[in-house]
């Protein structure tokens, strides 16, 4: 990943509910600031939409993109339950901005060459910060949907993998290109990939850096749905609406259970179900359990 200074908070803009790890109040980025980074963020009731908006560069991502995504996550309005992540133009995202590989790098954001010169601690911090842009999309209180048309390469594929669900247009193509470029995928994509397709298939996909077309992605479990490209917005709306039809607290608890299931034994999972259900039933029907 590239390094950079991230997005410096300014002084104006809406103040949000406390976010961040230390619980401080953090300012949301203005639409002008987001536009400069190549992003749009819109909230319509309980649905938020993040749009990668640099179509002329196939929505290539920079450190500023990841830093801004992390901030959107930390300052997400309380009412949002579904987060749609989409790309403007022909491709979802062509991955990391290739200028990162040049000595000059992305203006103001450094390059791999400048990253190589960082001490271990600073380097670790930079990658951690970039990963924060992806990690929050798995939060139990929201459901994230990647809406993918055209190419999703490298960081683009990892962004799609960081979402709970993926709706693909029939021209969608995934490619984990990092190993072909001498890198590893480090933007949180390896675990969901393995969880979805298994270790052997993940090895094959990553170490060949081959392209996976929409039909195969569906068969492998990398997509929940493939639709003709022109039907992508309608299919997304339909899925978002269906996701909003369940009780919010029950949905959050259920997502927490499902995510936790991967790392638990059956016995532990049964115990987790009992604990979550006790909270639900007391919330719905009263009682304190004492
Ligand atoms: N970074 C910066 N600019 C990019 C990137 C990128 N990753 N991808 C495309 N662009 C730019 C092109 O340079 C071109 O700019 P120009 O019009 O100023 O010349 C413009 O976007 C359009 O690109 P085309 O290649 O003409 O678009 P096309 O639709 O034919 O192809 C494709 C799209 C397949 C995505 C191709 O652009 C491509 O292979 N891009 C590089 C993909 C890549 O290797 N990404 C890094 C993966 S590793 C990682 O993400 C960590």
Phi, psi values for residue 148, rounded to 5°: -115, 120
For residue 57, the ligand 1 atom closest to its alpha carbon is 21
3-class state of residue 64 by DSSP? helix
Model ipTM?
0.99
Mean pLDDT of the chain: 92
| pLDDT single digits (tens) 90-148 | 999 999 999 999 999 999 998 999 999 999 999 999 999 999 999 999 999 999 999 99
- What is the model's pLDDT at position 13? 33
For residue 53, give Cα distances in angstroms to 16, 35, 56, 76.
24, 8, 9, 19
DSSP letter at 117 equals T
CA dihedral 119, 123, 124, 126 (to 10 degrees): 150
Q: What is d(CA 109, CA 105) in angstroms, rounded to the nearest whole number?
A: 7
Q: Which of 209, 3, 193, 12 is nearest to 117 (CA)?
A: 3
Q: In sequence order, which ranges of 110-247 are alpha helices (DSSP H)?
A: 112-116, 120-135, 155-161, 190-197, 199-208, 214-220, 232-243
Indicate the top mutation candidate among 92, 94, 185 to test ligand 1's pocket, ranked by most ligand atoms within 8 A of CB.
94
Q: What is d(CA 4, CA 13) in angstroms, rounded to the nearest whole number?
A: 23
How many whole angstroms from 52 Cα to the centroid of ligand 1? 14
- Per DSSP, what are the bridge partners of residue 52? 39, 87
- The residue whose CA has the least distance to atom 49 of ligand 1 is 154
- Tell me which H or E stretch contains 271: helix 266-285
For 64-89, what is the mean pLDDT?
98
Are 66 and 130 contacting, i.e. CB atoms less than 8 angstroms apart? yes
- What is the model's pLDDT at position 264? 98
3-class state of residue 111 by DSSP? coil
- The residue whose CA has the least distance to atom 20 of ligand 1 is 57
> Is residue 241 scored above 70 in pLDDT?
yes
How many whole angstroms from 214 Cα to the centroid of ligand 1? 20
How many whole angstroms from 59 Cα to the centroid of ligand 1? 9
Indicate the top mutation candidate among 2, 58, 115 to test ligand 1's pocket, ranked by most ligand atoms within 8 A of CB.
58
- 271: tokens are 């115990």
- What is the model's pLDDT at position 237? 98
- What is the model's pLDDT at position 24? 63
For residue 98, the ligand 1 atom closest to its alpha carbon is 1
Q: Which residues, at least 6 apart from 18, have a Cβ–Cβ distance to it below 8 Å? A: 24, 25, 26
| pLDDT single digits (tens) 7-36 | 333 323 333 444 444 456 899 999 999 999
How many whole angstroms from 95 Cα to the centroid of ligand 1? 8
For residue 130, give Cα distances in angstroms to 2, 4, 73, 123, 258.
9, 10, 13, 11, 26
- The residue whose CA has the least distance to atom 27 of ligand 1 is 58
How many whole angstroms from 174 Cα to the centroid of ligand 1? 14
- The residue whose CA has the least distance to atom 38 of ligand 1 is 94
For residue 154, the ligand 1 atom closest to its alpha carbon is 50
In 3-state terms, the chain is what percent helix, strand and coil (to 5)? 45, 20, 35
Residues near ligand 1 with C-beta < 6 Å?
57-58, 60, 90-91, 94-98, 151, 153-155, 177-178, 181, 183
For residue 175, the ligand 1 atom closest to its alpha carbon is 47
For residue 90, the ligand 1 atom closest to its alpha carbon is 29
In this prediction, residue 261 has a pLDDT band, given cuts at 50, 70 and 90, of: very high
Q: Which of 75-84, 102-111, 154-163, 275-284 has the lowest mean pLDDT?
A: 102-111
For residue 155, the ligand 1 atom closest to its alpha carbon is 50
């Amino acid at each position: 990943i590239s390094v950079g200074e991230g997005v410096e908070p300014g002084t104006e803009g809406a103040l949000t509910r406390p976010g961040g790890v230390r619980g401080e109040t953090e300012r949301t980025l203005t639409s002008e600031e987001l536009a400069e980074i190549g992003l749009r963020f819109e909230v319509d009731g309980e649905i938020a939409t993040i749009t990668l908006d640099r179509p002329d560069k196939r929505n290539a991502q920079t450190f500023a993109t990841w830093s801004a995504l992390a901030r959107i996550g930390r300052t997400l309005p309380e009412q949002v339950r579904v987060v749609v992540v989409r790309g403007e133009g022909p491709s979802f995202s062509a991955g990391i901005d290739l200028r990162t590989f040049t000595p000059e790098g992305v203006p103001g954001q450094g390059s791999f060459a400048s990253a190589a010169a960082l001490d271990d601690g600073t380097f670790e911090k930079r990658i951690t910060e970039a990963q924060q842009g992806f990690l929050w999309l798995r939060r139990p209180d929201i459901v994230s949907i990647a809406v993918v048309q055209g190419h999703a390469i490298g960081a683009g594929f990892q962004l799609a993998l960081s979402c709970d669900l993926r709706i693909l247009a029939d021209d969608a193509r995934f490619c984990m290109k990092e190993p072909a470029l001498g890198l590893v995928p480090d933007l949180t994509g390896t675990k969901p990939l393995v969880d979805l397709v298994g270790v052997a298939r993940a090895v094959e996909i990553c170490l060949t850096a081959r392209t996976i077309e929409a039909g195969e992605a569906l068969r492998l479990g990398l997509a929940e749905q493939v639709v003709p490209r022109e039907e992508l917005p309608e299919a997304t709306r339909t899925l978002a609406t269906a996701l909003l039809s369940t009780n919010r607290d029950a949905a959050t608890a259920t997502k927490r259970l499902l995510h936790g299931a991967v790392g638990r034994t059956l016995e532990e999972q049964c115990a987790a179900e009992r604990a979550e259900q006790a909270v639900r039933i007391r919330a719905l029907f009263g009682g304190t359990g004492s």
